[in-house]
Amino acid sequence: MTDALAALYPAHLATLRTRTETALARSGHDHLLVPAGVAHYQFLDDRPYPFAVNPHFKAWLPVTNAPGSWLVYTPGRKPKLVFLQPHDYWHVVPQAPAGYWVEHFDVAIIRRPEEARAHFPADAARCAILGEANAAVDGYAPNNPQAVLDHLHYHRAYKTPYELEMMRRASAVGARAHRAAERAFRAGESEYGIHMAYLHAAAQTDNELPYANIIGLNAHGAVLHYTDFERTLPAQALSFLIDAGGSFCGYASDITRTHAAAQAGEFQALIDAVDAAQRGFCARVRAGQDYAALHLHAHHVLAGVLREHGFIRASAESAVASGVSAAFFPHGLGHGIGLQVHEVAGFQKSETGGAIPKPEGHPYLRLTRTLAPGMVVTIEPGIYFIPMLLDELKAKPAGRDVEWAKVDAFRKYGGIRIEDDVVCTDGEPENLTRDAFAAA
C-alpha cells in the first residue's frame, strides 16, 4: 500500500510546486512559508483545543500532528520541512519524519518554536506566509496574499492521482465503520453505543475523524447536524441516520446513510426512492456539469418522489417554484471534499478570484462551479420532516398542496440523507463511497 503512495507522490509534489510558482509570480513574492499551526488554548485555562493542522501544510506532506513546524519553499529549490521536535516530558513528542515522502525534502529538526526563524528566507516582505495569526515567529507573520490564496484554492479542487488514492483509503475507513454502526443499530444500541461502535471500527478517536459524527435515531434524523448522542434508547427505534466519515493522512471521506427498522416498511420504501434518485445524481458527475444546475435538477427529482409517495399534490415544477421542495430538502446537494470536509473555493469563478452566485432561493448550496476531471464532490440529497420548516410551510398558501396527514405520519422517522463522495473523470464518474462499501 505504501509503495503505491510512494510511486504517486513525486508527481503530486511537482504539481504543488508548479501551482505555487505561478501563485508567487502573480502576487510578487519569492518564497512560500506555511506554518503547520499551533495549539489554541481554552479561555482562562491551560488546556488546548484539539489541534487542527493547516490544510496548506498537509497538502505538501502527510503530517497532521506537528504543531510549530513549517514548510519553506523557494522556486527552484528543494522544499524544506522545519520540524519541531521539542524536549518535553509532559506530552508525547512527535517522532522524527520518516516515510516515502521524506527524501523529497530538506528536513531541519528544531527544539523550540523560535528556532524556525533561522531557516526562513532573509526578507520577510518577500514571503507569502499562509496560516493563522498566532503562528507568527519573530516578524514572520502570516500575510495570506489574496492572489496566492485564490490560485491555490481554486486549483485544490483538482485532485492529483496521489490525492485520489488518499481519499480512497479515507473512504475505506468510513465504509468499514458505517457497517459496524449499522450492526450496532440492528442490535439495539443507543446513539452513544452506535457512536462507540463506529469509533472502534474506524480505529480513530473523535478528534481524528474529519468531523463530528451525526448519529440520530427516529426524529433526531430531522436535525441536520445532530451530535448529542443520547445514552438511552427510545421506546422504539424506527429509523437511523448516520453522517460520518474517516480520515487518512489528512484527507477526508464524508458518508451518510439512512436505515429503517424492520417494522418501518413504509419508511424503507422512501429510503429506496431517495437512494435511487441519489444514484442518478451521482451518474451526472461529469465534466462540464454545472453543479448548481445539478442541485436544481435534484430538487425536481425529489419533488417527484414526494408526489409519487403521496406527500404533495402539486407537480414537481410547481413544488420547486413555490418553495415546497425546499421545506423537505433544505440544504445543498453537496460540496467539494479533500483536505477539508467542505473544501475551499466552492464558489470561485476562476484562478484569479471572483464568485459564481448561488441560485436564488437556495442559500445553503456550497458549490456552484462547473465540474471538471479531478474534482471530488459529495452528492447528498435528502427528504426530511423538520417541524420548524413544516410549520412555516403549513402557514403559507403553498401549504395547501401538502397532504398533511401523510406528512405527520412520517415525522417520527426524522428524515433521509444518502451521501457519496464522487470523482469527476474524463468519462464515467468514480464513486469512492460505493466502491468502498463493495470492498468492505
For residue 302, the domain's CATH number is 3.90.230.10
Q: What distances in angstroms separate CA 420 from CA 191, 315, 350, 374, 378, one per listed residue?
A: 22, 28, 26, 16, 6
Q: Looking at the structure, tell me whether residues 166 and 148 fall in a common domain.
A: no
- Are 385 and 415 in contact by the 8 Å Cβ rule? The answer is yes
Q: Are residues 181 and 79 in the same domain?
A: no
Q: Is the pLDDT of residue 2 over 80?
A: no
pLDDT, position 299? 98
Dist. CA 63–CA 67, nearest whole Å: 10
Q: Which residues contact 318 (CB under 8 A, 6 or more apart)?
A: 324, 401
Question: Of 423, 434, 426, 427, which Cα lies nearest the Cα of 377?
Answer: 423
Residues 210 and 319 occupy one common structural domain? yes
pLDDT above 70: residue 57:
yes
Confidence of residue 92 (pLDDT cuts 50, 70, 90): confident
Rounded mean pLDDT, 83-92: 91
Closest residue by Cα to residue 353 from 166, 193, 148, 184: 148
How high is the pLDDT of residue 89? 86
Q: Are residues 119 and 174 in the same domain?
A: no
Where is the domain boundary, 87, 122, 155? 155
User: End of a domain among 155, 173, 191?
Assistant: 155
Residue 173 and residue 187 share a domain = yes
Looking at residue 169, what is its pLDDT?
A: 98
Total domains in the chain come to 2
Lookup: cell for 234? 427510545
Condensed to tens digits (0 to 9), the pLDDT of residues 335-394 reads: 999 999 999 999 999 999 999 999 999 999 999 999 999 999 999 999 999 999 999 999
Is pLDDT of 1 > 70? Answer: no
Percent of the chain predicted with pLDDT > 70: 100
Containing structural domain, residue 357: 161-439
* Residues 188 and 143 grouped into a single domain: no
Question: Do 128 and 39 have their domain in common?
Answer: yes
pLDDT cut 90: percent of the chain above it: 97
**Residue at a domain's end among 155, 182, 206:** 155
Predicted pLDDT at 317: 97
Judgement on whether residues 221 and 143 belong to the same structural domain of the protein: no
Which DSSP helix (H) or strand (E) runs through 353?
strand 353-355
Per-residue pLDDT tens over the stretch 304-343: 999 999 999 999 999 999 999 999 999 999 999 999 999 9
User: What is the reported pLDDT for 104?
Assistant: 98
Amino acid at residue number 57 = F
User: 94 falls in which pLDDT band (50, 70, 90)?
Assistant: confident
- Cell matching residue 285: 458527475
Predicted local confidence at residue 157, as pLDDT: 98
Average pLDDT, the chain: 97
Whether 90 shows a pLDDT value over 90: the answer reads: no
Looking at the structure, tell me whether residues 34 and 61 fall in a common domain.
yes
Claim to verify: residue 144 and residue 189 sit in the same structural domain: no
In three-state secondary structure terms, 215 is strand
Q: Rounded to the nearest 10 degrees, how much is the dihedral formed by the CA atoms of 327, 185, 253, 243?
A: 20
Looking up residue 112, the CATH number of its domain turns out to be 3.40.350.10
Regarding predicted confidence, which is higher, 264 or 149? Answer: 149
Q: Are residues 131 and 180 in the same domain?
A: no
Could you tell me if 150 and 173 lie in one domain? no
